[in-house]
């Protein structure tokens, strides 16, 4: 397709029509211009292709992002992406609407199950891998929801009030990394407003940051129904309005151009982006088959990689087929394996743990509670306790019923249904080992955590979760998942607690960059389970941490490696994590931040090396004043470990050569800053000589006090305390500025 020629041929009316979707999932077609329509589909953890009559195809439900995130496995993400890409080719779907990478600010966000992590690095790396996998099959992705969409309450109207540094460091990087590393074909803007402006009409967000700064050259579409002012949106860089206005906006677009309120050039740009997307897909269409059996096998494999073993006291797991095991809880019959809303898949095959129980040996089953509601049924609970009395070990299949968490609303609290907690309490009193398997999309409070022997976090593990859980429980799979989010002890520990979900149509992100472990670890708070945490049936030993150099410029960066040995007796996988702790004091920062991870598969006795390359961004924070990333000179500690709370080795390194930030010269600048800065130190010492001489010490003032007073004195106080004239203060300011300019130009 000659895109420019087609745009030239189109009338203004035709262009206006092109800027919105058709029948919910399609773009517009122009047969006379040789432009077909293409279909987009949800996502993100399976293909939710919908027909015009609203029916969805039967598809394979892969683990939701809350689970796949725990794999910390970029290869697996790519494989999943590739499978979804092939399914799309088979079903003639041009773009899968995902991945969803919004940061898990509060455990209560109803869509946390679809999102990857509380950490932007993890969300960025894993989503990039998924995008690469899908797009290698010549199918597009739509990374979503850009940006700061971290709750469902008032999601289509509320404003996320976030300072720029926090946006740049926490809420943007997953999008930024994916755009730069994986080049998604499309980006979906979020419903909400950011600091008062809807994402769908925010020129700073869509044009300046996304396109000009990050180099995004694809298409921006709206979330479904996110468009408020379509004209402002086109000018701001929103190409495609989905599902569209059913033609209502077409006339206003034409009128806006005719009246000079919207430039035709902006319209042309948007149309060209849409045509380029169509061209990208149709030019490489190929035949594929949607092999549901193969993809179901992948769903099971993936679920196994995602399960996190949270507790395994006295090696209560794995179970053996010889033990008498009581399975309890409705989730054994009906596992909750996906969340509600736009990501919901019409699943191909779901096998429950119960259906497999016989094959695993001597298991009994008693429901105890329903998987769909929070109702205590005394008779059911009594029967469950009786069944458990006969067993060697008790495995409770617990979790959140569907109604507890879903797209469109947030959770009301962080608890499991009371009926489940009650039964688990009763079971722990029997004096037998109790193991709890959890099916949930986001952390829950675990009041009985100290009383049970084992906890297995299965999350919403997709249609293969039943098969995967049984394999992990009986040791066929050695669990290797790691938490991609912290489990606070209780909801009120969470840093967003005081400001979630907000009032007056605004939610203030008052905790700033202190999200998740960045907060808990900096505050040295106890958590139920820390970020990055997860156990294995084997043990690993770390040794030999090396850094390629101790001092380096930010541009040079550094390479870090560490050896890891499997010292147990079975094969297993370890996720090595690297955190950077800024010691320079150049900004208020979290005590440490994840800047690398690496999953190693190790046979018993085997040693492998995890290697990390750190660049400027690994050390930098976002400086709003200079509008750039800043890695201050000075010391940083590199921490390598198994979770944010289990650091095995540290190494101190130094950044050198970053130009110091010169002080901002006004009469209010503090003397201490001037005396510390290499730009102004000499000059100010010289100029102050005459004034400081006049400072007489009274009896009550110590040297330390005088020093502190001088440090925090604004330059202008030379007038009040030292008898300087206005002209003298101005002349010092001028001299200081000249001195800085000479050194920085
Ligand atoms: C969701 C998107 C989804 C879209 C289409 C919206 O409500 O926020 O994630 O892709 O609907 O179903």
DSSP class per residue in 288-332: ----HHHHHHHHHHHHHHH-EEEEEGGG--S--TTS-EEEESGGG
What residue owns the CA closest to ligand 1's atom 8?
Answer: 223
User: What is the per-residue pLDDT for 80?
Assistant: 98
pLDDT at 180 exceeding the cut of 90 = yes
- Closest approach atom of ligand 1 to CA 408: 7
What's the pLDDT at 745?
84
* pLDDT above 90: percentage of residues in the chain: 95
Q: What is the pLDDT of residues 336-357, one digit of tens each?
A: 999 999 999 999 999 999 999 9
Determine contact, residues 11/245, Cβ cutoff 8 Å.
Answer: no
Torsion angle, alpha carbons of 628, 632, 633, 634, to 10 = -160
Q: Is the shortest distance between the CB of 517 and ligand 1 below 6 Å?
A: no
What pLDDT score was predicted for residue 623?
97
Let me know: does 300 contact 351? Beta carbons within 8 Å.
no
Residue in 44, 342, 344, 409 to alter for ligand 1 test, most ligand atoms within 8 A of Cβ: 342
- Taking alpha carbons only, the member of 226, 221, 227, 222 closest to residue 252 is 227
Mean pLDDT of 397-407: 97
Q: Closest residue (by CA) to atom 12 of ligand 1? A: 342
Residue-level pLDDT at 709: 83
Query: Angle at the Cα of 654 (from 650 to 658), degrees rounded to 5?
Result: 145
Q: Is 163 one of the annotated active-site residues of the chain?
A: no
> In angstroms, what CA-CA distances link 577 with 271, 456, 542, 655?
44, 21, 12, 21
In ligand 1, the atom with minimum distance to the C-alpha of 149 is: 8
3-state SS string over 407-435? CCECCCCCCCCHHHHHHHHHHHCCCCCEE
C-alpha separations of 487 from 284, 562, 621 in Å: 44, 27, 26
Cβ–ligand 1 distance for 97 under 6 Å, the answer: yes
Give the Å distances, CA to CA, from 575 to 70, 119, 303, 469, 608: 10, 15, 16, 20, 12
For residue 451, the tally of other CB atoms under 10 A from its CB is 13
Instruction: Evaluate: CB of 42 within 6 angstroms of ligand 1.
Output: yes
SS (H, E, C) 102-134: CCCCCCCCCCHHHCCCCCHHHHHHHHHHHHHHH
Is ligand 1 within 6 A of the CB of residue 115? Answer: no
414 close to ligand 1 (CB < 6 Angstrom): no
Interval 706-732 mean pLDDT: 91
- Helices then strands, each counted (H, E), the chain: 23, 27
Q: Does residue 702 register a pLDDT over 80?
A: no
DSSP secondary-structure letter at 662? P
pLDDT of 513 reads 98
Which of 39, 40, 42 to probe ligand 1 with, by most ligand atoms within 8 A of CB? 42
Cα–Cα dist 59/51, whole Å: 13
Residue that is written with structure tokens 């709206």 in the block = 222
Distance of CA 364 to the CA centre of its chain: 40
Mean pLDDT of the 557-563 span: 98
Q: What is the best residue among 25, 112, 223, 241 to mutate for testing ligand 1's pocket, by most ligand atoms within 8 Å of CB? A: 223
Angle at which helices 74-91 and 292-306 cross, to 10°: 160
Question: Please, are residues 174 and 101 in contact by the beta-carbon 8 Å criterion?
Answer: yes
Selecting among 42, 73, 119, 223, the annotated active-site residue is: 223
Position in ligand 1 atom list of the atom nearest CA 144: 9
Tell me if 152 CB under 6 Å of ligand 1: no
Angle 185-189-192 (CA atoms, 0-180°, nearest 5)? Answer: 170
Pairing of strands 558-566, 540-547: antiparallel
Cα–Cα dist 309/307, whole Å: 7
Spacing, Cα 263 to ligand 1 middle (Å):
29
Does residue 693 carry a pLDDT above 80? no
Residue 694 reports pLDDT greater than 80: no
Does residue 572 have a pLDDT over 90?
Answer: yes
Average pLDDT over residues 571-585: 98
Is-cis flag, bond preceding 43, omega within 30? yes
Ligand 1 geometric centre to CA of 42 (Å): 7
Residues 613, 74, 513, CA angle at the centre, nearest 5°? 65
144 lines ligand 1 (CB under 6 A): yes
What is the whole-number distance in angstroms between the Cα of residue 55 and the centre of ligand 1?
A: 16
Nearest atom in ligand 1 to the alpha carbon of residue 43 is 10
Please tell me if the CB atom of residue 20 comes closer than 6 angstroms to any atom of ligand 1.
no
Q: Give the residue among 45, 80, 79, 82 at the shortest CA–CA distance from 64.
A: 45
The answer to whether the CB of 509 is under 6 A from ligand 1 is no
Q: Which regions of 329-383 does DSSP assign to beta strands (E)?
A: 346-347, 363-366
Rounded to the nearest angstrom, the distance between the alpha carbon of 95 and the centre of ligand 1 is: 13
Q: Specify the pLDDT at position 691.
A: 79
pLDDT, mean over the chain: 97
Q: How confident is the model at residue 703, as a pLDDT?
A: 76
Atom of ligand 1 minimally distant from the CA of 145? 9
Q: Identify the residue whose tokens are 């001299």.
A: 735
pLDDT digit string (tens) for 362-376?
899 999 999 999 999
Q: Whose CA is nearest to atom 2 of ligand 1?
A: 223
Q: Is 234 touching ligand 1 by the criterion CB < 6 Å?
A: no
Identify whether the C-beta of residue 59 lies closer than 8 Å to the C-beta of residue 87.
Answer: yes
The minimum-distance atom of ligand 1 relative to the CA of 191 is 8
Atom 6 of ligand 1: nearest residue by CA position: 224
CA distances from 8 to 11, 28, 241 (A): 8, 17, 21
User: Residue 695: what pLDDT?
Assistant: 59
The radius of gyration of the chain's CA atoms, rounded to the nearest angstrom, is: 29
Measured in Å, residue 45 CA sits from the centre of ligand 1 at 13
Is the Cβ atom of 224 under 6 angstroms away from ligand 1?
yes
223 lines ligand 1 (CB under 6 A): yes
- Does position 124 have pLDDT exceeding 70, yes or no? yes
| Contact in structure between 213 and 206 (CB atoms under 8 Å) | no
């Amino acid at each position: 397709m000659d895109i420019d020629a087609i745009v030239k041929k189109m009338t203004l009316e035709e262009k206006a029509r092109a800027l919105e979707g058709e029948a919910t999932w399609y773009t517009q077609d122009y047969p006379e211009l040789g432009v077909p329509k293409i279909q987009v589909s949800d996502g993100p953890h399976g293909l939710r292709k919908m027909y015009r009559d609203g029916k969805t195809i039967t598809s394979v439900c892969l683990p939701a992002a809350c689970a796949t995130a725990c794999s910390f496995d970029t290869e697996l993400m790519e494989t999943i992406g590739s499978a979804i890409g092939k399914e799309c080719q088979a079903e003639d779907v041009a773009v899968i609407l995902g991945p969803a990478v919004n940061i898990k600010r509060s455990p209560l966000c109803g869509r946390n199950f679809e999102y990857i992590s509380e950490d932007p690095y993890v969300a960025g790396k894993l989503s990039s891998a998924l995008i690469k996998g899908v797009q290698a099959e010549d199918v597009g992705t739509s990374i979503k929801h850009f940006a700061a969409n971290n709750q469902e309450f008032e999601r289509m109207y509320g404003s996320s009030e976030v300072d720029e540094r926090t946006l740049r460091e926490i809420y943007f990087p997953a999008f930024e990394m994916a755009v730069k590393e994986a080049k998604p074909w499309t980006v979906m803007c979020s419903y909400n407003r950011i600091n008062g402006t809807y994402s769908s009409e925010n020129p700073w967000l869509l044009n300046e940051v996304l396109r000009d700064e990050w180099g995004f050259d694809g298409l921006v579409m709206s979330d479904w129904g996110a468009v408020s002012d379509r004209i402002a949106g086109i000018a701001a860089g929103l190409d495609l309005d989905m599902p569209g206005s059913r033609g209502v906006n077409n006339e206003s677009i034409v009128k806006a151009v005719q009246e000079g309120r919207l430039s035709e050039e902006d319209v042309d740009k948007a149309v060209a982006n849409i045509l380029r997307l169509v061209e990208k897909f149709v030019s490489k269409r190929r035949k594929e088959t949607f092999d549901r059996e193969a993809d179901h096998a992948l769903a099971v494999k993936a679920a196994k990689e995602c399960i996190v073993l949270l507790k395994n006291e006295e090696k209560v797991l794995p179970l053996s087929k010889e033990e008498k095991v009581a399975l309890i809880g409705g989730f054994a019959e009906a596992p909750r394996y996906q969340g509600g809303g736009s990501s919901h898949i019409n699943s191909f095959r779901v096998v429950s743990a119960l259906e497999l129980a016989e094959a695993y040996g001597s298991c009994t089953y008693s429901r105890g509670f329903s998987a769909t509601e929070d109702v205590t049924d005394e008779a059911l609970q009594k029967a469950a306790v009786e069944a458990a009395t006969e067993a060697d070990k008790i495995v409770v299949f617990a979790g959140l019923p569907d109604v507890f968490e879903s797209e469109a609303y947030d959770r009301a609290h962080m608890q499991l249904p009371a009926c489940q907690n009650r039964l688990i309490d009763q079971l722990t009193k029997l004096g037998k080992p109790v193991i709890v398997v959890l099916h949930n999309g986001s952390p829950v409070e675990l009041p009985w955590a100290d009383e049970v022997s084992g906890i297995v976090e299965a999350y919403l593990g997709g249609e293969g979760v039943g098969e995967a859980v049984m394999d992990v429980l009986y040791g066929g799979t050695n669990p290797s998942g790691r938490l991609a989010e912290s489990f606070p002890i209780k909801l009120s520990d969470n840093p967003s607690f005081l400001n979630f979900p907000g009032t007056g149509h605004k939610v203030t992100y008052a905790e700033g960059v202190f999200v998740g472990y960045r907060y808990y670890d900096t505050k040295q708070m106890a958590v139920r389970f820390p970020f990055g945490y997860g156990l294995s049936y084997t043990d690993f030993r770390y040794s030999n941490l090396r850094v390629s150099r101790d001092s380096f410029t930010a541009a040079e960066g550094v390479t870090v490696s560490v050896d890891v040995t499997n010292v147990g007796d079975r094969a297993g996988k370890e996720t090595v994590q690297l955190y950077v702790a800024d010691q320079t004091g150049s900004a208020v920062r979290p005590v440490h931040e994840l800047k690398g991870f690496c999953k190693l598969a190790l046979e018993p006795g085997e040693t492998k090396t995890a290697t990390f390359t750190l660049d400027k961004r690994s050390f930098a924070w976002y400086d709003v004043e200079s509008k750039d990333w800043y890695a201050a000179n000075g010391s940083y500690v590199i921490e390598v470990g198994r979770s944010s709370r289990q650091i095995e080795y540290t190494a101190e390194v130094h950044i050198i050569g970053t130009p110091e930030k010169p002080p901002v010269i006004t009469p209010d600048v503090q003397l201490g800053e001037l005396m510390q800065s290499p730009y102004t130190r000499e000059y100010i010492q010289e100029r102050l000589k005459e004034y400081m001489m006049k400072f007489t010490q009274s009896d009550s003032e110590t040297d330390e006090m005088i020093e502190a007073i001088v440090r925090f004195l604004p330059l202008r106080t030379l007038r009040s305390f030292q008898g300087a004239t206005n002209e003298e203060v101005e002349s010092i300011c001028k001299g200081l500025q000249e001195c800085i300019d000479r050194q920085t130009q």
